[in-house]
Structure 1
């Protein structure tokens, strides 16, 4: 290669190098080119990922469809194998049907075809909330049976609500092959009574029960409705009526059970003023009941009430029942007197109930003309005191006779030493006999008045008429009338007295102290047992504690009653001349007296006691 060629090549390389250097991109241009390349690569990557995910989703959907079709068949087969002919009713969604009239709103659930809730429209609680007798899953109702080697309970089955033929009636059905189970409800107009029927058709080979009967069990948490839960529990319990007998009950205190081995007409979960009653038109074969009271006194539940009753079962049966959801109101229960439902209004045992039946009639008579129940109680009290006035007068006169003879009794006590108590007693009795005084004369009239007092003790807490009625400072005559209340638990005080002070109870205790003082003036003597005077004043203090949580209407009645008695006593005192009375008794002492058979027997007993005492000394 010659020199010129080499020079040319060198020049070409230099020129190419120069142009290469001159045309190379700047750092900014390089960065922009890199960004563009990266963006293009990212878009291509995202498109590729989207295509992959779409393909994967399509593949998954296809696989899921195959699996679901396979699982649906498997699940259906498993349900059929597990639940048998009741597979369709074993699972479902809960829905509700409402029946309503002027006095009640009844909500029914397709799960168990049971009563889900009951609202009484005409009543409110102390806090103005509706009166709900039962609510939701706190109420369980139905019967157990066996099907396909498995235990079932109708409370857990999903019934089908048939189209309603009327607004106040509904049928729930469970179909099982050729058989079916139907629960029917009907709510008549303006009634607390619900018609309920259970029908079974061709189920003899489908469901199996023990002892050839349907054992219907009913479990409910009975909610508290009143201000004082503890007081409400005292008048609550499970009531039941035997088919050929009277009404009996177990109370809502602690845990109590009762086996009912004979036929029953009805069983009721009762609180102070309302009841839920299950009634059979053909009688239950037998049953048992159980009441469990919450340990916490402040728990807003009266009791957990359970009842089990049995009815015959053959597979093709029609059983007719009723539910009564309503007040323990003597007037409202009158149409059902032949069922014995009026005994849900507890008016005391034996003859006390008959006294209160008369009191109720008088009470309802006053209701026609007077709307204020405080005035009705006042008039009722005045009427009772007027009826009892002859006994009060006789009691006072008898006590006055013993009072005017007090100086002569003191003379006897001075003559006969204390260690000869029997001789003292004989001499005192001889004085009474000569004077014509019956030492029991002051007590016997009071014995006639005691049933009235006890009857009123049962009447007022059971009177739903007083519920929510106000008078003076008392906002509810059926509950306590607190003028002072406090929160927190004060040991012993809260447990036995409560967390409030009731004014009517204070007034009742005060009038009883005054009345006790007046009686002490009339009856005190040297023969009075030591400490007896103080014991007499303890009774009003006990009333103060005992009645603090009771109905204000009851305390108000006792307050007015004692106040009137004090007035009667002071009035009688103005008209009874003790000097003339003493003169009459002294005149009687001068007359020859004839011993009554009772006095003879008393003296014979005293002589026998004396002889026995002498023999023991020997």
Structure 2
């Protein structure tokens, strides 16, 4: 039945369109400003008191500007700038991830993006927190203006003493080959009265406007609680309602293509996850319970901040649910095993492109029983065409008798009319899961194959793979002669390879490589299956 074949191609077209839409959504990220790093000189570049949460529902008014300096910190993987006003991380470059393939400009994760802002903030509010003081956020002092990691660990302490003599030390701890930073507040209360402080950690990013269809990317906040391990909270949701979730532990994050920044508070304490939109800035944060410090006593408050690539193992080690920010969609249970297999193949082969070819061979081999059932069913349906035509001539316009006779023919010949559809539909989840693997896996960013394919995560610069894929579809049609007489269906079948090639022009070349190799293997399997049927005396072609 040729309508079955048409249905299969329509299904493929629909899936490809969905893949194309998702790829465009995720591939159109705001470009970072990779020009020379700017020195923070104005309060607009970091937090004002208007960004700082308090113990109450209100927010303190913005105060006047206080001079401060910017401290630079360099490790083997990070180049960070910390503003001494508030001790915020106002810039972070990832030294092992370049802005573009082949360039020597590190990827700018936090900082200024063509007038847009992305910073990480933390502080102490509460009754006696310095970040809630009327005079504005504290300006810390530092022993040095530049810190460089020379061993396994680098400690960057900042100091502040309030007008009552309470001593605050905010310490950043960086480790070699690590993108997560420990943040610790040591509070010493030498006064004769108790004080109360409350730790908050938050991420602030300029609200991103939605543009054309290809700009409909999810670039926004996520959070996790003890009951909700992973939830997205977009800029739109922030504008509609402030997030207010109480949980033990938890985390908050901002995610984007390939990278994430996240605050993980003390998991033993109760925390409030909140959001706000202030002056065009979307904020998501975590606020711990107040801590009371007796006169003459001291206390320590801690949190952990991650700023780097979406590496599932690293993120899971920081928080058991943080790896969910590597969003493989609803087919994550298929994507994760496929990613593990792809990584294993790469560890053996050493080339991501060849590894993609290898995983294609593995997947197609495992799916061979389904492929055989698909082509066998389609071949049997074609062989029934003369008998189907005879039934049409016999019963004419009597649809009821024709339908009964057709079902009897299927039963007699032991043919399932949908037998060619179900195997293909069962393969679709694997195609979709692999799409998310290519989309979300940082390992494939700027991964080289060879020759002109220098970045498997981006489109083929010369469109060779999409054209070859279209050619493989055309060859498949030629090897499966059609008896379609309807002009509309004939045109659709003729233009199908062209339509697919156009869709694939903007796909990541790694995914197109997978589809091309899969198509070539399918052709080989089809010829093998048909040859076996013809040896049994069944004419399945021509």
Instruction: Note the alpha carbon deviations across 1:310-360, whole angstroms, 9 max, x for none.
Output: 222245364321011221123544534x522222222231xx222222212
Instruction: Name the CA distance, whole Å, in 1 between partners of 2:490 and 2:270.
Output: 57
Asked if residue 240 in structure 1 is aligned to residue 223 in structure 2, the reply is yes
- Aligned match for 2:377, one of 386, 398, 403: 398
Instruction: Name the CA shift for 1:249/1:371 in 2 (closer, same or farther; >3 Å).
Output: same
Q: How does 1:138-177 map to 2 (within 5 A)?
A: 138-139=118-119, 141-142=121-122, 156-161=137-142, 168-176=154-162, 177=164
Instruction: Name the CA shift for 1:214/1:102 in 2 (closer, same or farther; >3 Å).
Output: closer
Asked if residue 466 in structure 1 is aligned to residue 440 in structure 2, the reply is no
Q: Partner of 2:306 in structure 1?
A: 324
Instruction: Note the alpha carbon deviations across 1:189-208, whole angstroms, 9 max, x for none.
Output: 33222111235555999999
Asked if residue 108 in structure 1 is aligned to residue 65 in structure 2, the reply is no
Instruction: Name the CA distance, whole Å, in 2 between partners of 1:446 and 1:410.
Output: 27
TM-score normalised by L of structure 2? 0.72
Structure with higher Rg: it is 1
Show structure 1 runs of 5+ residues with no match: 1-88, 224-228, 295-303, 484-501, 584-618
Q: Partner of 1:189 in structure 2?
A: 176
Instruction: Name the CA shift for 1:204/1:555 in 2 (closer, same or farther; >3 Å).
Output: farther
Instruction: Name the CA distance, whole Å, in 2 between partners of 1:139 and 1:123.
Output: 19
Cα deviation for residue 135 of structure 1 reads 2.3
Q: How does 1:111-510 map to 2 (within 5 A)?
A: 111-126=85-100, 127-135=103-111, 138-139=118-119, 141-142=121-122, 156-161=137-142, 168-176=154-162, 177-200=164-187, 216-221=201-206, 234=217, 236-250=219-233, 259-263=243-247, 265-282=250-267, 285-289=271-275, 305-316=282-293, 318-333=300-315, 335-336=317-318, 339-349=320-330, 352-418=331-397, 420-471=398-449, 472-483=451-462, 502-510=463-471
Q: Partner of 1:13 in structure 2?
A: none
TM-score normalised by L of structure 1? 0.64
Instruction: Name the CA shift for 1:435/1:358 in 2 (closer, same or farther; >3 Å).
Output: same
Instruction: Name the CA distance, whole Å, in 2 between partners of 1:253 and 1:544.
Output: 35
Instruction: Name the CA shift for 1:254/1:556 in 2 (closer, same or farther; >3 Å).
Output: farther
Instruction: Name the CA shift for 1:266/1:257 in 2 (closer, same or farther; >3 Å).
Output: farther
Cα deviation for residue 96 of structure 1 reads 3.3
**Count of residues in correspondence between the two structures:** 450
Instruction: Name the CA shift for 1:515/1:333 in 2 (closer, same or farther; >3 Å).
Output: farther
Which structure has the higher relative contact order (CA within 8 Å, separation 6+)? Answer: 2
Instruction: Name the CA distance, whole Å, in 2 between partners of 1:576 and 1:200.
Output: 81
What's the RMSD between the two structures over aligned residues? 3.9
Q: Partner of 2:69 in structure 1?
A: 95
SS at match of 2:288: strand
SS at match of 2:329: coil
SS at match of 2:308: strand
Instruction: Name the CA shift for 1:479/1:235 in 2 (closer, same or farther; >3 Å).
Output: farther
Asked if residue 568 in structure 1 is aligned to residue 509 in structure 2, the reply is no
- 8 Å contact kept, 1:134–1:220: no
Instruction: Name the CA distance, whole Å, in 2 between partners of 1:239 and 1:533.
Output: 48
- 8 Å contact kept, 1:232–1:272: no
Instruction: Name the CA shift for 1:265/1:447 in 2 (closer, same or farther; >3 Å).
Output: same
SS at match of 2:304: strand
Cα deviation for residue 382 of structure 1 reads 1.3
Instruction: Name the CA distance, whole Å, in 2 between partners of 1:289 and 1:543.
Output: 43
Cα deviation for residue 253 of structure 1 reads 8.8
Instruction: Name the CA shift for 1:397/1:270 in 2 (closer, same or farther; >3 Å).
Output: same
Show structure 2 runs of 5+ residues with no match: 1-62, 294-298
SS at match of 2:349: coil
